[in-house]
Chain A
Amino acid sequence: MLSQHLLVLQVVVPLLSAPLCALLPLASPGKYFSNKLAWLIATVASLISFVISILLAIEVSKHGYISYELGGWTPPWGIEYRIDHLSAYVLLIVSGIASITMLAAQKSIEKEIAHEKISLFYSAFLLCLTGLLGIVATGDAFNIFVFLEISSLSSYVLIALGNNRKALTASYQYLIMGTIGATFILIGVGLLYMLTGTLNLVDLQQKIPELLDSRALHAAFAFFTVGISLKLALLPLHLWLPNAYAYAPSMITVFLSATATKVSLYVLFRFFFGLFSNEVTFGEFHLDKILLPLSILAILIASAVAIFQDNIKRMFAYSSVAQIGYMTLGIGLATKSGSVAGMLHLFNHAIIKGGIFLAMACIVIRTNSVQLSNFAGLGKRMPWTMAALLLLGLGLIGVPFTAGFISKWYLLIAALDQRSWLAAAVIVGGSLLAIIYVWKVIEYAYLKTSSKTIDSDTASTKEAPLQMLIPLWLLVAASIYFGFETSFSFGFANTAINALFK
Chain B
Amino acid sequence: MIADFYNYWVAIILMMIGFYIVISDANLIKKMIGITIFQTSVFILFISMSKVEGGTAPILIDEVTLYSNPLPHVLILTAIVVGVATTALGLAIIARIYREYGTVDENIIHAKDEEEYEDSDEDLS
Contacts and interface: CB of A to CB of B under 8 A. Distances in A.
Do A and B touch each other in the complex, judged by CB within 8 A?
yes
Interface of A: 112, 142, 145-146, 149, 153, 156-157, 160, 163-166, 168-169, 171-172, 175-176, 179-180, 183, 186-187, 190, 193-194, 199, 310-311, 364, 368-371, 373
Interface string B101-117: 10000000100010000
Interface string B68-106: 000110010011001001100110011011001100000
Most chain-A Cβ atoms within 10 A of its Cβ — which of B19, B89, B109? B89
B35 interface: yes
Given A190-B45, A190-B49, A193-B72, A165 B100 contact: yes
Given A175-B86, A183-B42, 9 more contacts: A149-B86, A166-B113, A168-B97, A180-B38, A186-B79, A194-B49, A364-B124, A368-B125, A369-B124
Contacts of B101: 165
A146 B82 contact: yes
Contacts of A153: 82, 85-86, 89
A368 B124 contact: yes
B62 interface: no
5 contacts: A156-B89, A176-B90, A180-B38, A190-B45, A193-B72
B118 interface: no
A165 B123 CA distance: 11
B100 A168 contact: yes
A156 to B, nearest CB: 6
A377 B31 CA distance: 45
Interface in B43-76: 45-46, 49, 71-72, 75
Interface residues of B, number: 34
Nearest to A150: B82
A193 B46 CA distance: 9
Given A166-B113, A194-B49, A146 B124 contact: no
Contacts of A146: 78, 82
Contacts of A310: 122
Contacts of B78: 142, 146
A145 B83 CA distance: 12
Contacts, number: 88
B4 interface: no
B14 interface: no
A379 to B, nearest CB: 21
A165 B42 CA distance: 33
A310 B118 CA distance: 12
B121 interface: yes
B45 A156 contact: no
A199 to B, nearest CB: 8
B19 A180 contact: yes
A369 B85 contact: no
A171 B35 CA distance: 15
A172 B93 contact: yes
A272 to B, nearest CB: 21
Nearest to B39: A183
Contact of A168 (B46, B93, B121): B93
Given A163-B125, A165-B101, A176 B22 contact: yes
Nearest to A166: B113
Contact of A172 (B28, B39, B79): B28
Most chain-A Cβ atoms within 10 A of its Cβ — which of B19, B71, B82, B113? B82
Nearest to B28: A172
A371 B86 contact: no
A224 to B, nearest CB: 14
Contacts of A370: 124
A175 B96 CA distance: 14
A156 B93 contact: yes
Nearest to B75: A142
Contact of A160 (B46, B96, B113, B121): B96
A371 B125 CA distance: 12
A108 to B, nearest CB: 12
B20 to A, nearest CB: 12
B121 A371 contact: yes
A222 to B, nearest CB: 14
Nearest to B101: A165
A113 to B, nearest CB: 12
B42 A169 contact: no
A193 B89 CA distance: 29
